[in-house]
Amino acid sequence: MPDEELMKKLVSLCKRLGFVYQSGEIYGGLQSAWDYGPLGVELKRNIENSWWNAMVRTRNDVYGVDTAIITHPEVWRASGHVEHFHDPLVDCRSCKARFRADQVEGRTCPDCGGELTEPRDFGLMFKTFMGPVEDEAAVAFLRPETCQTIFADFRNIVNSMRPGLPFGVAQIGKAFRNEITARNFIFRSREFEQMEMEYFCRPGDAAQLMEYWISERLSWYAKLGIRPSNLRLRPHGQAELAHYASACTDIEYTFPFVQGGYGELEGIACRTDYDLKAHMAASGQDLTFIDQAAGEKVVPHVIETSGGVGRTFLAVLLDSYYEDVIEGRERVVLRLSPELAPVKLAILPLSRKLEPEALAVADILRPLWPAEFDVTGSIGKRYRRMDEIGTPFCITYDFDSQQDASVTIRERDSLGQIRVPVERLVEVLSGIFARGWPD
């Protein structure tokens, strides 16, 4: 399917089935703000939980935090964002369209061919005021990245947790950027979520740890179900590096709408000791670390892994969208992994007459897995809806179930079916969720 067509279908599926809506749609929509619907919020949380498990829960060396969105203005002065976090902007003198200067070639408008203005700097941070008086003393910023408050909290975290080097601090949360060209669905929005981890290490270990984290992060995307052949690594050239980085490699995905065919999913950067030193200088506080093992005081270097929740969500959907034909009928199927699927089980009585007995089965399963109960329409239609939202297993209660106290489990991708006694259903499903569908 041509990429453009796939993207159109996916955006429409997201709206129709409750994954993503445009925010403020009844008022014409707020450009580049998106709301996650009932299925979208589940998929998004499943992605975040998978990241949190991989980066925090299953490791001994990474701690989690959840810091404030409205941040002390000095944090952003010290970090260099007030000075450097700008994009060059150009306007078309004829049609008034606005572009990032680095995304247009020459001095003519890509939309109408009109003349473009000289580039001028446009600050990307959202500014707000704390308290009732809107003056300079009350200015605060919405964070444009989640990591900076980790650096500002560094001393507290070290004092609380007493870690040895290397160790990491991770957080998932909202970030805000007043992007000039916010477009391409949830790929570039002004409010978005990041999954970031700062790994503090001895300076001499940074290069090797950067390679380690690139490999860890690639494995995580593959585990989510993103095809490795759709990913690539792109090291940044010297001129492209952010003001804080000595090296950076992006993990890119084949987003269909991006010029050149690949767009950034995540950046893995060596931030050196830039941030801790900057906060030490600006705050006057000591943020050095006593490395007990080496018997010396150091300012640790940092390897950062910084990914976007929305971009991962989009890549997961693009890679799981399939159209196939079953018994002469077309179906759309989201081949989401059971870990990510918003609904894990559907309990479907074959007929309304079987509703009470099927509900009793649903009551057993619902406390254990996110499950839907659906009795409306033909069984074929109900299977197709479940395929379209990515539900991996449907459990059908039919007229034989009344006799043999068994139900049928249907697997979404292979369409394989197995008959299971209701009294063994939890045990069998637990095995399937842990080890996969039996061959």
Residue whose CB is less far from ligand GAP, 300 or 308: 308
User: Which one, 194 or 320, has the nearer CB to ligand GAP?
Assistant: 194
Nearer to ligand GAP, 247 or 332 (CB): 247
CB 81 to ligand GAP: min, Å: 10
Nearer to ligand GAP, 269 or 362 (CB): 269
Residue written as token pair 């981890």: 197
Burial 242-271 (b: 16+ CB within 10 A, else e): eebbebbbbbbbbbbebeeebbbbbbbbbb
3-state secondary structure of 288: coil
Name which position in 48, 153, 205, 264 contacts ligand GAP (CB under 6 A). Answer: 264
- Cα 67 from chain centroid? 18
Q: Does 40 bind ligand GAP (CB under 6 A)?
A: no
DSSP H helices, 300-378, are 309-320, 355-365
79 binds ligand GAP (CB under 6 A): no
> Which residues are CB-contacts of 154 (< 8 A; sequence separation ≥ 6)?
169, 200, 276, 279, 287
145 touches ligand GAP by CB under 6 A = yes
Binding segment for ligand GAP among 91-99, 185-193, 205-213, 254-262 (CB under 6 A)? 185-193
Judged by CB under 6 A, which of 155, 177, 344, 410 binds ligand GAP? Answer: 177
The reply on whether position 220 binds ligand GAP by CB under 6 A is no
Kindly indicate which of the ranges 92-100, 108-116, 133-141, 189-197 contains the residues binding ligand GAP, using the contact rule CB under 6 A.
Answer: 189-197
Q: Which of 71, 194, 272, 320 binds ligand GAP (CB under 6 A)?
A: 194
One-letter amino acid of 141: F
**Shortest distance, position 242 Cβ to ligand GAP, whole Å:** 7
Shortest Cβ distance from residue 184 to ligand GAP (Å)?
9
Please give the Cα distance from 192 to 65 (Å, whole number).
18
Task: Give the rounded distance of the alpha carbon of 372 from its chain centre.
Answer: 25
Neighbouring-strand partners of residue 36: 20
Pick from 173, 267, 349, 392 the residue near ligand GAP by CB under 6 A. Answer: 267
Q: How far is the CB of 196 from ligand GAP (least distance, A)?
A: 6
- Closest contact distance (angstroms) between CB of 347 and ligand GAP is 37
- Asked if 168 is part of the footprint of ligand GAP (rule: CB under 6 A), the reply reads no
Q: Are 125 and 141 in contact (CB under 8 A)?
A: yes
For 119-158, give the DSSP string. PEEEE-SPEEESSS--SGGGEEEE-SSSSHHHHHTHHHHH
Place of tokens 């492209």: 240
Q: Does 87 bind ligand GAP (CB under 6 A)?
A: no
Residue selected from 75, 210, 265, 365 as contacting ligand GAP according to rule CB under 6 A: 265
Collect all residues with Cβ–Cβ distance below 8 Å to 383 and sequence separation of at least 6: 348, 394, 410
CA distances from 246 to 72, 206, 274 (A): 26, 11, 9
Q: Which residue has the tokens 């892994």?
A: 305
Q: State yes or no: residue 179 binds ligand GAP (CB under 6 A).
A: yes
Report in angstroms how near the CB of residue 147 gets to ligand GAP at its nearest: 4
Work out whether 308 is an interface residue with ligand GAP (CB under 6 A): yes
Residue closest to ligand GAP, measured at CB: 308
Question: Which residue type occupies 181?
Answer: T
- Tokens in use for 181? 């060209």
- Cα–Cα distance for residue pair 356/346, rounded to 1 Å: 15
Give the range of 165-173, 213-221, 302-310, 426-434 binding ligand GAP by CB under 6 A. Answer: 302-310
> Of these, 192, 199, 255, 289, which contacts ligand GAP (CB under 6 A)?
192
Does 279 engage in binding with ligand GAP (CB under 6 A)?
A: no
Tokens at residue 232, please? 């690539």
Which residue stretch of 220-228, 258-266, 314-322, 416-424 sits at the interface with ligand GAP (rule: CB under 6 A)? 258-266
Instruction: Please confirm whether the linkage preceding 166 is cis (ω < 30° from 0).
Output: yes
The verdict on 252 binding ligand GAP (CB under 6 A) reads no
Q: Which two tokens stand for residue 219?
A: 């494995």
d(CA 317, CA 341): 11
Task: Name the site residues for ligand GAP (rule: CB under 6 A).
Answer: 145, 147, 177, 179, 188-189, 192, 194, 196, 264-267, 304, 306-308, 310-311
